[in-house]
Structure 1
Amino acid sequence: MELTLSESCLLGALIFCFVIQLYFILFVHLKLALVKVENIPASAPKPISVIICARNEAENLKQYLPYVLHQEYPDFEVIVVNDRSWDKTREVLEGFSAEYRHLKVVTVAEGEKFIAGKKFAVTMGIKASANEWLVFTDADCQPATEHWLRGMQQPENENTEIVLGYSPYFGKRGLLNSLIRFETFFTAVNYLSFALKGMPYMGVGRNMAYKKSLFFKKKGFAAHMHIPSGDDDLFVNAHANRNNTEIRIHPDTHVWSAPNTTFGAYLKQKKRHFGAGKLYKPAHKFILSAQIIIQFLFYTVFVAALCFKPANYIAGGIFILSLIIRSFIYPRLLKRLNYPGLRWWFPILDILLFIFLVFNGILSIFVKKVKWK
C-alpha cells in the first residue's frame, strides 16, 4: 500500500490527534470511572450553612426549597438571599420563615449603591452565615436525597477547604434536553477527573462547598467582580489545588436541577460560562482549549482522509478504534453520573456536542454582553 505525501500527512495528523485523545480518555477520565465511591458518613459533627441566591424564583422556591430544609442533618442553617426580586419571592420566603426556624432570609434591595449580580448576593449570604463550612446550591435545585448534606459536609481532613459535587439535570423528551444533559455530563467528567488528577480547575454552584475562612482570606470575588458569572468556577479555579480539594460523586450527594427548555436560553447560559472561562489560569485554558482543538482536528482530518484511497481505509480503522475505546469508558461514566439512558446515544451526542461547542465558541466572539437573570 503506497501513500502520497498528502495522504501520509493526513494520516499522521489523525494519529497524533488520536494519541492525544487517548491521553485524556485513559489517563484523566478513566480515573473517575475507576475511583471508589465513598460511603455517606454516619456522623455529622460540625454545623453547616447552606447558601442559596434567588432572583425572581418564587415558583422554584415553593417546589425545591423544602428538599433543602428537610435534610437529615443535626445542625444546619439555610440562608436564602433574595436578590432584588419583583415577583412573589419575598412572600414565599416569609411563609417558609414562619414554619422553619433554621431558615434565614437576606434581602438585597434595588438601589444604585448595590453592585448588581450574583456575586454580590453570594457575598451577602456568606457574611450572614454563622458557620465555617458553606454548602452552595441554587433555587431551582433538588438534592437527590435527605443525606445530601451528610455527603457534602466538611471532610475529616482539615486541609480540605473545597469540596466539588455533581449536579445533573432532570431528563425530559427531546434532542435539546439530551444535548444539555450530555454537555453537563462531559463538563462534570472533565472537572471531576482533573480534580482527582490533582489539577482542580472549576466547580458548579449548584453543588459545591468551601470554608468561609478561605473566602475571606482570598478576598472573595474581588479579582473578578466585574465578570457577571464565575461565582463558582472562577473562585475554584483561583484557589483550589491538589492538597485542599476533594470531590463527592455518591448518588445521595447529587443535586438535580431543571434544565433550560429553549435553545436560546441555553446559549445565553453557555455564553456566561464561556466569558468566565477566559479568566482561568493559563495552564487550565491551554488544556481545555487543546481538548476542543484536538477533537475538531480529529473529525476534520478524518473527513478529509476519507476523500483519498487507500488512506480512507486506515482513517476509518483509526476512527472505529477511537469509538470503541470511548464506548468502553464513557457509557460506564454515564451510568455512574446518573445518565444511564444516554449511553445508547453516546456516539451521536458526542458529535453533536462537538458541533455545538464550535458554534458556541464562534457565537461568543460576536455576543459580548451577558448578565445574571
Structure 2
Amino acid sequence: MIFTILFYTFVVVTAIQVLYYLFFLTFAYGQNKIKINTDVNIPVSVIVYVKNNADVLIDSIQNLTKQKYSSFEIVLVNNASSDNSLDIIETLQKKHSNIKVVNVENTEAFWGNKKYALTLGVKAATHEHLLFTEINSKALSKNWIHEIASNFSQENTIVIGYQKLKRKKNSFSNLLIRFNHLLRTIQSLSFVKFRNPYNATNHNFAYTKSVFFKVNGYINHLNTFIGEADLFLKDAATTNNTTYSIKLDSFVVSNKHLSFKEWFYSQKQTSILFSLYKLKPRFFLRLFTLTKLLFYLLAIYTTILNWKLSLPFIISYFLIQYVVLGKSASKLHEKNIILLLPFLDICLVLLQISIFISNQISKPTHWK
C-alpha cells in the first residue's frame, strides 16, 4: 500500500518535472518575437560599476572603447575605491573623450551602497538608453552595444543580456558553477517569454532612463545590499516591456574565475533575495525545486523496491532533460557544460539542500 502511494507520487512529480522542461523548450526552440532594428544608431550611455578593480581596469575599458558603435559614452562609476582605481580611470578619461567619471565618496547615509552609486551614474548619463556592465566582465564582440541596443523598441524598454562565466579547464567546481548558471538562465529567459521577468544581471542589462525614473530607481530596495538588477526588474518590468538577446555578439564574459567558496556565498545571498521576488515566479520556481528533490528521493526508493516499474520514468526524465538543456546550451554556446548530466544535476540538488541548511544556521551579511 505504501509503495503504491509513493510510486504514484513519483509518477506525479516526474510528470511535473517533464512539464517544466517542456516549458523551458519555449526558450530552447522558440524565437524571441521582437523586430530587431539592424540599423540602430540611438545614442547609448554604457554605465560601468567600479569598486577596487585597478588590476583589470585598463584592459576592460580599452575593450569598451573599441566598440563599433556610432554614438556612445562610457560612464565610469567609482564607488569609493580604496585602491588607485580613481587615478587610472581619470588617466583613461584624458585619453578618450567619450569617458565620463562619477566618483562616489562614502557618506554616513549611503556608506558603500552600490545602488546609490549606480543612481548617481544614471543621473550623470547623457543619453536616454542605458547599458549596464561591470568592470570584471568584457564584451565578447566589438558589436556588443549594437546587438543589445538593436532590441530596444517603442514597446521594449528593458533588455536582458547574457553573461558567460569564465571556463577553467579540469575544474569540476567551475563546471558545476557554470551548469547552475546555465540552468538559472534558461529558467529566467523562459519566464521572460511568458511575460514574467524576474532575473537579470548588471553585467549585461539595458533599459531607458524613463523606466528608471518612473519607478524612482532603486528607492524601494535601496537598503537591500544585493539584487540591484533583479529588484529593479521586479519594480519596472511589465508584461510587455522586457525582452532578451541571445546572439553571441551580445554576450559578455567574466574575466576571472569564481571560486567555489565565493559561489557558495553568493548562492546563500541569492536564496535570500529569492524571497523578495514576485509571487508567481517564486511559487513556480519553488515548485520546480521541490519536485526535483522529490523525484530523486522517490526514484531511489521505487528503484530499490521495483526497478522495472520506475526505470522507464527515470530514463524518460533524463532523456527529456538532456534534449532541452542540450538545445538551450547550444543556443547559449555552452555545449560542453552538460556533458556530465545527470551527475551535475544531482550535485546541484545536494548543494541546494546545503545552502538551505547553511542559511538556517547563519544568514550572510550585507554585500557591498
Cα gap change, 1:153 to 1:87, in 2 (>3 Å): same
**What amino acid does structure 1 have at the position aligned with 2:231?**
L
1:138 and 1:365 map into 2 onto residues whose CA distance is: 31
Once residues 255 and 300 of structure 2 are traced to their aligned partners in structure 1, the CA distance between those partners, rounded to angstroms, is 37
Question: What is the letter of the counterpart of residue 128 of structure 2?
Answer: E
Moved more, 93-102 or 259-268: 259-268
* Paired residues for 1:108-257 under 5 Å: 108-153=104-149, 155=151, 157-173=153-169, 174-257=171-254
The correspondence of residues 45-56 of structure 1 with structure 2, limited to 5 A, is: 45-56=41-52
User: How far is 1:81 from its partner?
Assistant: 0.7
What secondary structure sits across from 1:18 in the alignment? helix
2:228 and 2:182 map into 1 onto residues whose CA distance is: 20
TM-score (norm 2): 0.95
1:304-348 Cα deviation digits (max 9, x unpaired): 22231xx33211221111001111221121121121112322222
2:105 is equivalent to residue 105 of structure 1: no
Using the TM superposition, give the Cα deviation of residue 136 of structure 1 relative to its aligned residue in structure 2, in angstroms: 0.7
Partner in structure 2 of residue 84 of structure 1: 80
- Identity in percent: 27
- Note if contact 2:140-2:251 (Cα within 8 Å) is conserved in structure 1: yes
Asked whether the 8 Å contact 1:48–1:131 carries over to 2, the reply is yes
Do the aligned residues in 1 keep the contact of 2:45 with 2:127 (CA within 8 Å)?
yes
- Name the counterpart of 1:22: 18
Deviations 1:21-58 (A, max 9, x none): 111111x2101111337897532221001111111011
The residue type equivalent to 2:327 in the other structure is R
How many correspondences in the alignment?
A: 366
Contact 1:271 1:370 in 2 (8 A): no
Give the secondary structure class of the aligned counterpart of 2:56. helix
C-alpha displacement at 1:6, in angstroms? 1.3
Alignment of 1:270-285 (within 5 A): 270-285=267-282
Q: 2:321 aligns with which of 318, 326, 334?
A: 326
Contact 1:335 1:343 in 2 (8 A): no
In structure 2, the residue matched to 1:267 is 264
C-alpha spacing 1:39/1:348, structure 2 compared with 1 (3 Å): farther
Q: Aligned-pair RMSD on alpha carbons?
A: 1.7
Shift of 1:273: 2.0
Query: Distance in 2 between the 1:301 and 1:284 partners?
Result: 25
Q: Cα–Cα, structure 1 residues 118 and 296, in superposed 2: closer, same or farther, change >3 Å?
A: same
1:83, 1:171 → 2: CA distance?
A: 28
1:123-153 superposed Cα distances (whole Å, 9 cap, x missing partner):
1110111111111111100111011111111
Maintained 8 Å contact 1:227/1:276: no
Q: Is the 8 A contact 1:41 1:151 kept in 2?
A: no
TM-score by length of structure 1 reads: 0.93
Are the aligned partners of 2:48 and 2:75 in contact in 1 as well (CA < 8 Å)? yes
The separation in 2 between residues aligned to 1:81 and 1:265, in whole angstroms, is: 24
Q: Tell me, yes or no, if structure 1 residue 354 matches structure 2 residue 354.
A: no
8 A Cα contact 2:45 2:73, kept in partner: yes
1:39/1:222 CA distance change after superposition, 3 Å = closer
8 Å CA contact retained: 1:48, 1:134: yes
Letter in 2 for 1:359: S
Give the whole-Å Cα distance in 2 for the aligned partners of 1:292 and 1:338: 25
SS at match of 1:294: helix
Counterpart residue identity of residue 99, structure 1: K
Equivalent residue of 2:40, what SS?
coil
Distance 1:283 1:133 in 2: 29
How far apart are 1:216 and its partner, in Å? Answer: 0.9
How far 1:116 moved relative to its partner? 2.6
Runs of 4+ in 1 over 3 A off after TM superposition: 36-42, 258-261
Partners of 2:65 and 2:341 lie apart in 1 by 36
**Gaps in structure 1 of 5+ consecutive residues:** none
State the 1:120 CA deviation. 1.0
Corresponding residue SS for 1:284: helix
Residues 195 and 239 of structure 2 are in contact (CA less than 8 Å); yes or no, is this contact kept in structure 1? yes
Over residues 149-182 of structure 1, what are the superposed CA-to-partner deviations in whole Å (9 max), with x where a residue is unaligned? Answer: 1111164531212111111111112011101111
